[in-house]
A and B are shown apart, each in its own frame.
Chain A
Amino acid sequence: MAIAQPLPRTSVFRRPTATRGFASWLTTVDHKRIGILYGVTSFAFFLLGGIEALLLRWQLATPDGQLLDADSYNQLFTMHGLTMIFLVVMPLSAAFFNYLTPLMIGARDVAFPRLNAFSYWIFLLGGLFLYSSWFLGGAPDGGWFGYAPLSSQMPGVNMDFYAVGLQIVGVASLVSAVNFIVTIFNERAPGMSLMRMPVFVWMTLVVSFLLLFALPVIAIALFQLAGDRILGTNFFDASAGGDPVLWQHMFWIFGHPEVYILILPAMGIVSEILPTFSRKPLFGYPAVVFAGAAIGFMGWGVWAHHMFTSGLGPVANAAFALSTMFIAVPTGIKIFNWLGTMWGGVLRFTTPMLFAIGFVAMFVIGGLSGVTHSIVPSDWQQHDTYYIVAHFHYVLFGGSIFGLFGGAYYWFPKFSGRTYDERLGKLHFWLMLIGFNLTFAPMHLLGLEGMPRRIYTYGEGLGFDVWNMVATVGAFTIAASVLVFMVNVVRSLARGAKTSADPWDGRTLEWTIPSPPPHYNFAEIPTVRARDDFWHRKYTEDESGRVTPVVAGAATTEEDVEHEDEEHHDIHMPDPSYWPLVAAAGLPFIGYGIIFDWVWAVPGALLLLVGLFGWSLEPVAEEGH
């Protein structure tokens, strides 16, 4: 300690102290507020991506559609895919990770609160960077997977924005992956062993590892693409000896784990909703956890099933066909566990429960059509047709989005302290379920009839007319259901009835604290004695196995009561900080520098460096309060 004299600190900024108002949101390091920022931002991007989808469907509603030309169609379908994957499902999952993981493991915050803010700001600015392409020469137009050598040779800045924009957004996910791995391993409350963690936390952990190992691979691929486009390297130039399928390998080594990055959070959410509304523990908890981990491992060995038509040869095709069939096994295990959870339960069909059941049903359809792709000759037939579009929307919309909406309703009382309108919630669910199936079920037929993906129009008399019109009607039904959701949220935030800490009779730790939670989460860090600890504090089983409430007060020992008031004064929470925002603000400038003129990179690099240095010199929390 001798040498560690705290120096008088000289800082550009005074440490921000605001707890309300705009500035407080810019500087917050509270995981709950960052979760809300993630949620609101990604919902805004969801609306943008949805509008793009509606434009596409309007164009395709009738043969020889006149709304869009080929160029704008290309930009719209590319941005729709990029938006929904990188700016909606991933950050929306991150919103739930942020808000819930610390609450579920009994922690006061994530391991690195400022790093968490840094992730969010990079995501927001990276998303805006991608969208700024519309005004700066054109949006990416080479598909969300941007296959080189096509993408490396397309003219314009469009695919430059792809290569650089995804890189920025990727940094956000990488940083948050490190953060959540450390949080989940290190910040668990006493007694919260790994096998007592809620399944949602497990899935967060698996997803974080997938992100950790998948993102560097796409980062390299994107560097190579940017190099080919901007510097003139030869990575994807076949005439110089470059390998035309290298990009596909690199992209899908990232891209297939990415598929599980998109679905596992929703699976975790559903694994929380179903037990609560069935009044039963999750059926086969260890099987669900290990199946999730198995998917995380096996997800690395199936990437080439995206490339069956690229000429890999029969041995590689057969191997990847088998691994693809195998990965359906752990997925199937989860389905049966969810069904087993509901079996014999006391079911309450609330909105979140409906979405969870909808998730299971729609995901089964999407999963089964996925297995059909593992049959190589069948895949050759389906490749690049609307059958593929139908498949991945069943898993990503019918799967991920349904799960995420279910989670939004389930935890809405916890986030806001208010109840939502159950009637509007159910209207939302049924409209969305019907609209979704109207939109995407016909695409199976269109695909099998031979309608290719990514065409901006089609001729009359090819047999595509009826189902395309049905799909468009479905898409607008989905849009109507999203409007119902928005009305519900706005009305409920303003006028919803106040809710208690535990409106659903829940099982996990977030329901033990007030709604909305105080900024320090837990007045006293809980001690966990069992899986579904909160449930066991409330209920026990009699000899015949029936659930009976614990006699009031018996669950809290005298010890607990004594401690209740002591610690409030001694809770040290990390202080807000400007530095994450300053550092993150550098990245888009560096991006513009790479694409347009290097001078832009100078202020960008300065912001980044100043931000990081200011950050490293600033303590997590100020002294003396």
Chain B
Amino acid sequence: MSTAEVRHEAHTATGLDNRKLGMWAFLGSECLFFGALITTYMLYRNRSVVGPFPEEIYDIPFTSVSSFVLLMSSLTMVLALSAIQRGDHQGLRIWLLATAFLGLTFLGGQVYEFTVFVKEGLTVTRNVFGSSFFVLTGFHGLHVTVGVLMLLHHFGMSLAGRIGQEDSLRIELVGLYWHFVDIVWVIIFTVVYLIPT
């Protein structure tokens, strides 16, 4: 990476890199973003006047599998970071790609789930459960999509030889975002799918 950015990383008053602190601040903001979405869902899940209702439509075993896939992607993300910190560029690329693949698998599962729900009559306009469910999980899916794009972008950068061992922070930042999106899904899976209405 250019020395300009290495220099930019230099000392800060707190000792934390600017980009890392910025990412943490942004993730703090995201907590409220998903907080507002989840709150709306909790308020509305039992208030629909027409079906389908949550308990009729959720396929818990299926969603459990796709949740497991997303959780495993956090492991591969950690392995990607660890690889670049050791200077293992091959490892970095493998694990970045693996993480993106798991993320895409999760997204595929979400597309399948949405399609099934729509076929069973639940659309975003059908009832308040549908509105709050699709908007919540849709925004989560959008975050996963952005994460996958970031992973592929860094995969390409690594192929082009533009991510050196000293740039591991860039991978760490992607990782922070990715783990956050994962944790949000853990909460969504628990309160949206698992807790009975």
- Interface set of A (CB-CB < 8 Å, partner B): 1-7, 111-112, 174, 177-179, 181-182, 185-188, 192, 212-217, 219-221, 223-224, 227, 231-235, 237, 239-243, 246, 250, 572, 613, 616, 619-623
* Contact present for B131 and A213 (CB under 8 Å): no
**Which one of B5, B16, B22, B165 has the greatest number of beta carbons of chain A within 10 Å?**
B22
* Contact present for A234 and B18 (CB under 8 Å): no
| A215-B32 Cα distance, complex, nearest whole Å | 9
Chain A nearest CB, measured from B77 CB (Å): 19
B29 interface residue per 8 A CB criterion: yes
* Contact present for B2 and A623 (CB under 8 Å): yes
| A174-B21 Cα distance, complex, nearest whole Å | 15
Report which of A179, A234, A622 forms a contact with B22, defined as CB distance below 8 A.
A179
B75 interface residue per 8 A CB criterion: no
Report which of A4, A5, A215 forms a contact with B166, defined as CB distance below 8 A.
A4
- For B33, the chain A residues whose CB sits under 8 A away are 216-217, 219-220
- For B125, the chain A residues whose CB sits under 8 A away are 231-234
* Contact present for A241 and B135 (CB under 8 Å): no
Q: Which residue of A lies closest to B30 (CB)?
A: A216
Knowing A186-B13, A621-B4, A623-B2 touch, does A221 contact B36 (C-beta < 8 A)? yes
Report which of B2, B30, B127 forms a contact with A619, defined as CB distance below 8 A.
B2
Report which of A2, A6, A223, A241 forms a contact with B48, defined as CB distance below 8 A.
A241
| A623-B40 Cα distance, complex, nearest whole Å | 50
Task: Return 6 A-B CB contacts under 8 Å, by A number.
Answer: A4-B167, A182-B22, A182-B25, A227-B124, A233-B125, A623-B3
B44 interface residue per 8 A CB criterion: yes
| A174-B33 Cα distance, complex, nearest whole Å | 12
Q: Which residue of B lies closest to A253 (CB)?
A: B36
- For A177, the chain B residues whose CB sits under 8 A away are 25, 29
How many residues belonging to B are interface residues under a CB distance threshold of 8 Å? 50
* Contact present for A7 and B160 (CB under 8 Å): yes
* Contact present for A241 and B44 (CB under 8 Å): yes
Q: How many A-B contacts if CB must be within 8 Å? A: 146
| A240-B30 Cα distance, complex, nearest whole Å | 29
| A4-B33 Cα distance, complex, nearest whole Å | 37
Main secondary structure of the interface of B (DSSP, over half): helix
B108 interface residue per 8 A CB criterion: no
* Contact present for A227 and B12 (CB under 8 Å): no
B119 interface residue per 8 A CB criterion: no
* Contact present for B22 and A2 (CB under 8 Å): no
* Contact present for A112 and B22 (CB under 8 Å): yes
| A616-B2 Cα distance, complex, nearest whole Å | 13
Q: Which residue of B lies closest to A243 (CB)?
A: B43
| A5-B16 Cα distance, complex, nearest whole Å | 26
* Contact present for A227 and B135 (CB under 8 Å): yes
B 129-172 to A, binary, CB cutoff 8 A, 1 in contact else 0: 01110010001000000000000010000001111111100000
B37 interface residue per 8 A CB criterion: yes
- For B161, the chain A residues whose CB sits under 8 A away are 3-5, 7
- For A239, the chain B residues whose CB sits under 8 A away are 49
Report which of B26, B47, B162 forms a contact with A241, defined as CB distance below 8 A.
B47
* Contact present for B4 and A620 (CB under 8 Å): yes
Chain B nearest CB, measured from A300 CB (Å): 10
* Contact present for A241 and B166 (CB under 8 Å): no
- For B13, the chain A residues whose CB sits under 8 A away are 185-188, 192
* Contact present for A181 and B30 (CB under 8 Å): no
B1 interface residue per 8 A CB criterion: yes
- For A223, the chain B residues whose CB sits under 8 A away are 135, 139
- For A220, the chain B residues whose CB sits under 8 A away are 33, 36-37, 40
Chain B nearest CB, measured from A6 CB (Å): 6
| A621-B130 Cα distance, complex, nearest whole Å | 48
Knowing A7-B162, A182-B21, A246-B40 touch, does A233 contact B124 (C-beta < 8 A)? yes
| A215-B164 Cα distance, complex, nearest whole Å | 36
**Which one of B2, B44, B131, B167 has the greatest number of beta carbons of chain A within 10 Å?**
B131
Chain B nearest CB, measured from A219 CB (Å): 7
- For A224, the chain B residues whose CB sits under 8 A away are 40, 131, 135
Knowing A1-B164, A5-B161, A213-B28 touch, does A240 contact B127 (C-beta < 8 A)? yes
* Contact present for A233 and B3 (CB under 8 Å): no
Knowing A1-B166, A216-B32 touch, does A240 contact B135 (C-beta < 8 A)? no
* Contact present for A185 and B43 (CB under 8 Å): no
* Contact present for B29 and A215 (CB under 8 Å): yes
Knowing A7-B161, A241-B128, A246-B43 touch, does A181 contact B21 (C-beta < 8 A)? yes
* Contact present for A250 and B36 (CB under 8 Å): yes
- For A185, the chain B residues whose CB sits under 8 A away are 12-14, 16, 21
Residues 7-24 (chain B) with a chain A CB within 8 angstroms? 7-8, 12-14, 16, 18, 21-22
Q: Which residue of B lies closest to A115 (CB)?
A: B22
Report which of A3, A188, A216, A622 forms a contact with B29, defined as CB distance below 8 A.
A216
Knowing A4-B167, A243-B47 touch, does A234 contact B127 (C-beta < 8 A)? yes
| A182-B3 Cα distance, complex, nearest whole Å | 22
* Contact present for A186 and B43 (CB under 8 Å): no
Q: Which residue of A lies closest to B46 (CB)?
A: A241
